[in-house]
Amino acid sequence: MKRYRTALTIAGSDPSGGAGLQADLKTFSALGVYGSTAVVAVVDENTAGVYGVHPIPVDFVRGQIRSVLSDVGADAVKIGMLHDSGLIRGVLDSLREFPDVRDIVFDPVMVATSGDPLLQPDAIGTLASELIPYARVITPNLPEAELLLGARIECQDQFEDAARQLSAVGGGCVSVMLKAGHLENAMLTDYFYNAESGRMLRLPSTKVDTPNTHGTGCTLSSAIAAFMALGHSLDDAVSRAKAYIGDAIMAGADYSIGKGHGPVHHFHRWW
């Protein structure tokens, strides 16, 4: 029998379809990976903002994770929005029941593209001390990196040191994709610190002038997970994911969906 490559996303929903687990499933599918989900919250949001978060009980989230991993399994896991410490610990405890599942990509979602907070402030310490050390890769943007480090990152020249410092937050074992999208530079360079090899990758791109950036972080992190699930090396998975999100932003730049930040074009390779 043939076997699908599989990936699990542990994330909140986005009814407008551009971010959260909807974006993750679209990304998995576009890249040829079978996607499954564990829903941590039902979010009331659209392209203009976040209006409410309805948390799923932690035990029910744990049940979803256990049901998927004990049956379908996962070649990689992407973790998105986790809104409080109890949920963070519940997800972590569930993953520890399946020690063979170690290709874990964590997108430390704290603030939505619209600027709305998505994480309770007292949960930042739990992320840093408990979940980040268990992940293989984290993908913070600039505001998230500043919250984790407790320091400002004001220019591109600080990125290399910041990426290494973020890895140190996780005990020095977690690799870090530090994203530059919040800078105003016309030319942006994301930095990927591979903690397993000690190598630093610089991934430059031209900033696209478009409002359609809703779900870019979700899409990038799920693309990394997808390429890991397909068997690519860490550096290659990150490089391919960076190219995929760049093309998705470019392909979706001129579309109009919603009244705020529209989505990227996840299926740009197909239509």
pLDDT (tens place) for every residue of the chain, 271 residues total: 999 999 999 999 999 999 999 999 999 999 999 999 999 999 999 999 889 889 999 999 999 999 999 999 999 999 998 988 999 999 999 999 999 999 999 999 876 555 566 677 778 889 889 999 999 999 999 988 998 998 898 888 889 999 999 999 989 999 999 998 767 665 789 999 999 999 999 999 888 989 999 999 999 999 999 999 999 999 999 999 999 999 999 999 999 999 999 999 999 999 9
- Catalytic, 170? Answer no
Nearest to 229 by CA among 3, 2, 5, 34: 5
- Catalytic, 210? Answer no
According to the model, what pLDDT value does residue 199 have? 96
Cα separation, 251 vs 140, in Å, equals 24
Among 213, 219, 246, 262, the active-site one is: 213
Phi, psi of 138 (to 5 degrees): -120, 155
Assess if residue 262 is contained within a domain: no
- Token representation of residue 18: 């551009």
Cα separation, 9 vs 156, in Å, equals 30
Assess if residue 76 is contained within a domain: yes
Total count of domains within the chain:
1
Of how many residues is the chain composed?
271
According to the model, what pLDDT value does residue 117 have? 64
- Token representation of residue 245: 């999100």
Nearest to 219 by CA among 179, 256, 183: 179
Cα separation, 113 vs 256, in Å, equals 17
Distance between alpha carbon 199 and the CA centroid of its chain, in Å? 21
Assess if residue 268 is contained within a domain: no
Nearest to 218 by CA among 30, 3, 11, 6: 11
According to the model, what pLDDT value does residue 114 have? 56
- Catalytic, 150? Answer no
Note the pTM of the prediction, 2 decimals.
Answer: 0.95
Assess if residue 260 is contained within a domain: no
Among 37, 47, 216, 219, the active-site one is: 216
- The answer to whether the beta carbons of residues 249 and 212 sit under 8 Å apart is yes
Assess if residue 210 is contained within a domain: yes
CA atoms within 13 A on the CB side of 24: 31
Residue 115: give its domain's CATH number.
3.40.1190.20
- Catalytic, 26? Answer no
According to the model, what pLDDT value does residue 103 have? 98
194: domain range? 6-252
Which residue has 């390429």 as its token pair?
227
Among 179, 181, 246, 262, the active-site one is: 179
Among 18, 170, 215, 262, the active-site one is: 215
Assess if residue 33 is contained within a domain: yes
Assess if residue 30 is contained within a domain: yes
- Catalytic, 218? Answer yes
- List C-alpha distances in Å: 228 to 59, 140, 221, 241: 28, 18, 11, 10
- Catalytic, 80? Answer no
Q: Could you tell me the end-to-end alpha-carbon distance of the chain, in angstroms, rounded to an integer? A: 30
Nearest to 91 by CA among 118, 111, 61: 61
- The answer to whether the beta carbons of residues 162 and 123 sit under 8 Å apart is no
According to the model, what pLDDT value does residue 180 have? 83
Among 35, 80, 170, 217, the active-site one is: 217
Among 6, 218, 242, 252, the active-site one is: 218
Assess if residue 61 is contained within a domain: yes
